[in-house]
Chain A
């Protein structure tokens, strides 16, 4: 975009430390202001990162630290916690909660909440079970109908919210009860349905694992894609006269990514390997992250979460954003419910019970998505779900009963929310709200 009108050049201010008069011309356009603290190379990147942490922009650091502590504690208490076998189980357990939490992340980005994801996931599972087992529908049709049901529920929430301005808290509280009732109604008298063990869905969720060759091949592809996009982005920035990350930092990040992918895969391959279902979840997380950060829709979601009135005046279709986000959340809930049912090979009255609901919401918040809107990341669903399910898995290994699990989960959730509130206050004090 070119800007018409008069061409006015700012007076070149000599930068301290640059003796040549055309010093500013050589600097990238975004680094010319003399007030900027220059950060060059790897050490600069490190110091910029620590400065960001100090100002309260914590990102996913607390949850990663928390996860390390939780894993260390459980490993000390029971040496089989970090075994390949248990970690494969952990990935399987994490998936359904994680998928549901992904939807919660989106809703939280708007500063809204969906309390009914558990019930919606249970209802979707029940519909799948009844149509697939009792009515003998083809599994694809059952699957599509259940997912479409989730979508419809979300659109209904969105319509209630945008048309009548009912707070999402109340709409979804009603949904929590209403859809639980509907789930019981759909299941009928028997209460529990067993899915056929040899069906494709159950196979995908419970028995499908990547062979080591495929898993390592995927890592190569992912890292190559990462390096390529970073290098291309670097070239584009340099061509536009902006500062570009040095190749050393790209190399370090690529190496870190490789380690972060190879180590878990090696460990998981010690047992059954990387579950297809978990890979599906990871793909959803990465996809959602890209959509949220790199598309106009995602930018609009952040804008609405930050300042609805500003978004409206900027010409963003705020209603459409609310509708689509509520729809996406309920759809993710339905998918999560179906995955849970397929993994457990059964649908029952307790499918998507209170646990699911609170675990998913807690996962999103623990993962670092702010309850106050406009701040968060799709990766918080992955990290948060890992924390929640690690606690539940570890306590089960220690054969402690659910009373302890509830208390520990509650404590972790409280800590996470407190960190969120504190870091928000600190961000405001540092002007990074």
Chain B
């Protein structure tokens, strides 16, 4: 796919800053002193093993949970987010893994669910359909028709609709929770293209993923969480995958690096 991106002011400004964010669930310290800087026009991947606290952190930023401790600075102002609606109003949009689409409604209805355009008291279907197309075209999204129920769309298309919906609130930060999980090769590529398109629009994207290939392909920086703590922030262009995996697992002699070493050894002995 060739697109000619008109130069956007890719801001290097920090739009969201977390300092010392902690969260406990009973006796479990889920997050401890988390520091995070999210910049505009940048894809920040959030990685970590199962139970590292990725989801908790995302939900804390999204307002599903409230942090026990720490500060959150959004757009230069210290904020306290206590509900998902507040986060959305601030400009933090989240696409959760289950997408939360209504299968029985069509694409337009899903995109505008909860913020339908109206003329008087009546829904303005024409304007909603027109701007749905405008938005989907801008994202180069491949949706054949916006008047079919979402149930008939593929996984990647559903993901596209969910992401497009998050953009309608004019957010500054978009968080994507495992957007490529359970997607095929082509669909994954489509979603990754979409992520790049979001970056080109000057949005800050937080991408949660288990898939290191996706992370290395699309992210600018990678923040690693381990056991609820920061375990390094890497600039993708200057980092090898092994280093990030080492940070995720917390050891250089982990299962992944052992496997890699074994394979190089085998190749060495074979030659």
Q: Which A residues have a C-beta under 8 Å from some C-beta of B?
A: 1-11, 29-30, 33, 35-36, 233, 236-237, 240-242, 294-296, 299-300, 302-303, 305-307, 309-311, 313-316, 374-375, 427-428, 430-433
Contact = CB atoms under 8 A, between A and B. Distances in A.
A9 B137 CA distance: 7
Contacts of B3: 8-11
Contacts of A303: 102, 105, 109, 113-114
B145 A3 contact: no
Given A4-B170, A306-B104, A307-B103, A29 B116 contact: no
A29 B121 CA distance: 26
Given A4-B170, A5-B202, A240-B129, A314 B100 contact: yes
Contacts of B102: 302-303, 306-307, 310-311, 374
A2 B137 CA distance: 13
Given A4-B170, A8-B197, A306-B104, A294 B123 contact: yes
Nearest to B119: A236
B1 interface: yes
B236 interface: no
Interface in B193-233: 197, 200-203
11 contacts: A1-B127, A4-B170, A8-B3, A11-B2, A296-B116, A299-B116, A302-B102, A302-B109, A306-B105, A428-B151, A431-B152
A295 B122 contact: yes
Given A36-B144, A305-B104, A307-B100, A316 B151 contact: no
A307 B130 contact: no
Given A9-B137, A313-B100, A1 B151 contact: no
Contacts of A299: 105, 109, 113, 116, 123
Interface residues of B, number: 60
B2 to A, nearest CB: 6
B183 to A, nearest CB: 17
A316 B113 CA distance: 8
A165 B197 CA distance: 43
B20 interface: no
A308 B80 CA distance: 27
Given A29-B130, A30-B147, A310-B100, A294 B122 contact: yes
Contacts of B138: 3, 5, 7-8
B133 interface: yes
Interface string B88-113: 10000000101111111100010001
B101 A296 contact: no
A390 B259 CA distance: 75
A188 to B, nearest CB: 45
A237 B126 contact: yes
A433 B1 contact: no
Contacts of A302: 102, 104-105, 109
B117 A315 contact: no
A5 B201 contact: yes
Contacts of B135: 3
Residue of B105, B145, B167 contacting most chain A CB atoms (<10 Å): B105
Given A8-B4, A30-B129, A33-B142, 18 more contacts: A5-B138, A5-B201, A6-B6, A6-B8, A6-B200, A8-B5, A9-B3, A33-B144, A237-B126, A295-B123, A299-B105, A300-B114, A307-B103, A314-B100, A315-B115, A316-B113, A375-B104, A431-B151
Contacts of A242: 126, 129-130, 133
A223 B139 CA distance: 42
Contacts of A307: 100-104
Contact of B127 (A10, A36, A240): A240
B251 interface: no
A432 B149 contact: yes
A278 B144 CA distance: 43
Contacts of B126: 233, 236-237, 240, 242
B83 to A, nearest CB: 10
B133 A29 contact: yes
Contacts of A430: 152
A3 B134 contact: yes
- Considering the complex of A and B, which 8 residue pairs feature the smallest CB-CB distances, nearest first? A431-B152, A314-B114, A5-B201, A306-B102, A306-B104, A374-B104, A310-B100, A433-B151
A430 B152 CA distance: 7
Contacts of A6: 5-6, 8, 200-202
B168 interface: yes
Contacts of B8: 5-6
A421 to B, nearest CB: 16
A313 B116 contact: no
Contacts of A237: 126
A10 B137 CA distance: 6
A109 to B, nearest CB: 10
Nearest to A3: B135
A310 B148 CA distance: 18
Contacts of A29: 130, 133-134, 137
A10 B143 CA distance: 12
A276 to B, nearest CB: 28
B202 to A, nearest CB: 6
B155 interface: no
A236 to B, nearest CB: 5
A117 B121 CA distance: 30
Contacts of A8: 3-6, 138-140, 197, 200
Nearest to A374: B104
